[in-house]
Structure 1
């Protein structure tokens, strides 16, 4: 079965999408819960490369952690330097 070559909309890297053989696809090793999946779907409509999926999973958890800190610390909270 021929697979589709796609370009990651986030990093522009080419990858082979194996939607017809999803268990063999590069994304199959990335385990996402429903919240992580929703976060990524809100940002991108198309397939991403495995590397970007991992980075966005981490980004999701970092943002949640920062939000929790902000709620706990209130006016004493300071955003990390690399975050807006």
Structure 2
């Protein structure tokens, strides 16, 4: 599969991923991988969060805000202070 943005510029570059938002194939020059927290339930009113990646193209990336900083009051932080 060829990078969509490179194809528009008249070049052929192999893709390394697909934009999660628009579905365009992206090469390393046009891919943006950002940290995206994945939350999983961990019991009543609790959840765990793990860092993961989200790949987007440079066009779609500005449409999404940066991920929020982890809360200071996470279960792991609570265990460290106790």
- Please, what TM-score do these two structures have when normalized by structure 1? 0.30
Structure whose residues are more often helix by fraction: 1
Structure whose residues are more often strand by fraction: 2
- Please, what TM-score do these two structures have when normalized by structure 2? 0.30
